[in-house]
Structure 1
């Protein structure tokens, strides 16, 4: 019934939309719709962005060092490969939660308004390109690895399938993709979390991804199985909140869970949305979801306010929810804040405007 009303509301919104409509409350930021072969580098004090052309090759030869030690993350439960998820011992944690960034700039400079410690995780968005039966990428897989390594952070790679290419077709290139991931991992002295086809439930529904639950599982297990650097590469299963697609936690699991032994950590992307801007952490990350995967560590893959970053008041409210989420989710271990200014949008960041300094210091 919820799905029916959601679809009806979306239809009414579309019919009544003005020539320049506001984004639908459940729409995702346009930063995830960037064209192939470019990456947007935002100016620190405005929404103006520079477009930088990127090659699709994976640079080889340089070992990226990671400073500091690691401490075990997951205790018990299912792991996808060789060992547990871990965070650098010296990284910044707030009340035990690892603090990370989805960002483009220098990670230590970004977080310096809060602490002189480095972030625990540093992430980048990369999109596959399918051409002639081969998979390339809109930028090198290790495009953010040097910045992550410079502060000893976990490198989080959000790897999106190419638009219009079915999951099952991507699965046929699993061997090549696995080799590409292994090559990246060989040059990185730390953990890499592969957030493969993140928000799969939402992006299948809105047409950004092509395929269905069985196809997603086939792609996931094929790529996971092709990766040999399992002590370094951890498979990060990260949907959108189940309610965004009208599913219960059990329905989401039945449709998209790829199987025990193929997932090392789980997550959800959690944004505060209009019109009310009064959502709770447990609305985005249901306690039922936490309990379902209680033997796996849970990290928010993205956190922020829609649309365009929201106001500072809204950011403060949501950051307060995010930093206190452990009260309703026992296996919640940390979050990556979306610290970017996408083209044509506002600044989603909270470390550059004093919000994080007030909330996380």
Structure 2
């Protein structure tokens, strides 16, 4: 009898253990994962930098030119809440994610949430098959297995990149590709799917690209403002109401700065997003600044004068 009871308890313990392994590893420093999307009181257990208005803040670093997230953290004296990295699917034959994986240790040590912008540049939307989606999931799981929360921003700015010829296909094909990706990653602990079009003239132009509320965890929009009078309401209000508020989704801005790169305009936009009261938009939680010197010098920390850097950081706790 004792041997039977021992075997029974052993099997129960083994079952529980295997169940936990199947569930995967939850994020070590969660930002959105497991949190209520539109609550001001569900405080994330994340140690990263925040604006005085409570908005979490991070960076898209210029990694191609050696500006790693550790360098930005050192310059600011704060750990970024998010880090945005870009990667391309260059062939319908497979995806290895080397552009992301080369920074895995750096992302882990930063304690930031990874915004993984995976771009299907070398194939059409209808070539994003379940096999390609499985490759993407395999790469993402390498991060989540290290306790890193990942926001998977698949085919971001799809409405812009199709017109530019970077992505190939139509909105119907995009939605099917998105749903293939969703099927592959939906059970990965710590992974959230992030839908992000580019700024359009009117909010109704996004509708054809919407995959459906059941397939999206986070909504956001890339936008570069040009006026020092821009506010969250003027830049994002309509989008917020149409997608974050309507569908009760987390909202994050994964890529923003100003054009032109006028210091006064940059400082005004940083202030508007990190210091102004945005409590009337409870789904809005995060900004990731485009900290690159590219077509313009979008940076507000790296390569800037001490005065500009100090002013930038005066907006954060």
TM-score, normalised via structure 2 length: 0.76
Give the Å deviation of 1:158. 0.6
Determine if contact 1:192/1:232 at 8 Å carries over to the other structure.
Answer: yes
Distance 1:260 1:251, change over 3 A: same
Give the Å deviation of 1:159. 0.6
* Match status 1:119 vs 2:80: yes
Distance 1:325 1:252, change over 3 A: farther
Q: Which deviations, in whole Å up to 9, do the C-alpha atoms of 1:288-334 show, x marking residues without a partner?
A: 53353221111101111225xx0211211221222237266331101
1:26 matched to which residue of 2?
none
* Match status 1:331 vs 2:283: yes
Partners of 1:332 and 1:267 in 2: CA distance: 9
Partners of 1:278 and 1:161 in 2: CA distance: 35
1:224 matched to which residue of 2?
182
Unaligned stretches of 5+ residues in structure 2: 1-24
Give runs of aligned pairs for residues 74-85 of structure 1, distance below 5 A.
74-75=35-36
Give the Å deviation of 1:160. 0.7
Partners of 1:152 and 1:235 in 2: CA distance: 20
Give runs of aligned pairs for residues 169-208 of structure 1, distance below 5 A.
169-171=127-129, 173-208=131-166
* Match status 1:292 vs 2:292: no
Partners of 2:211 and 2:30 in 1: CA distance: 31
1:360 matched to which residue of 2?
316
Partners of 1:263 and 1:322 in 2: CA distance: 24
Distance 1:251 1:227, change over 3 A: same
* Match status 1:90 vs 2:43: no
Unaligned stretches of 5+ residues in structure 1: 1-63, 78-84
Determine if contact 2:32/2:250 at 8 Å carries over to the other structure.
Answer: no
TM-score, normalised via structure 1 length: 0.67
Determine if contact 2:253/2:286 at 8 Å carries over to the other structure.
Answer: yes
Determine if contact 1:123/1:144 at 8 Å carries over to the other structure.
Answer: no
Identify, as 1 or 2, the structure richer in helix. 2
Secondary structure of 2:188's aligned partner: coil
Give the Å deviation of 1:148. 1.7
Q: Which deviations, in whole Å up to 9, do the C-alpha atoms of 1:2-55 show, x marking residues without a partner?
A: xxxxxxxxxxxxxxxxxxxxxxxxxxxxxxxxxxxxxxxxxxxxxxxxxxxxxx
Determine if contact 2:35/2:44 at 8 Å carries over to the other structure.
Answer: no
Q: Which deviations, in whole Å up to 9, do the C-alpha atoms of 1:246-267 show, x marking residues without a partner?
A: xx324412x0111222111111
Secondary structure of 1:93's aligned partner: coil
Q: Which has the larger radius of gyration?
A: 2
Distance 1:71 1:176, change over 3 A: closer
Distance 1:292 1:146, change over 3 A: same
Identify, as 1 or 2, the structure richer in strand. 1
The alignment of Structure 1 onto Structure 2 pairs a total of residues equal to 276
Give the Å deviation of 1:123. 1.4
2:256 matched to which residue of 1?
303
1:252 matched to which residue of 2?
206
Distance 1:269 1:175, change over 3 A: closer
Q: Which deviations, in whole Å up to 9, do the C-alpha atoms of 1:187-246 show, x marking residues without a partner?
A: 421211111111111112222211111111000000110125522211011111232xxx
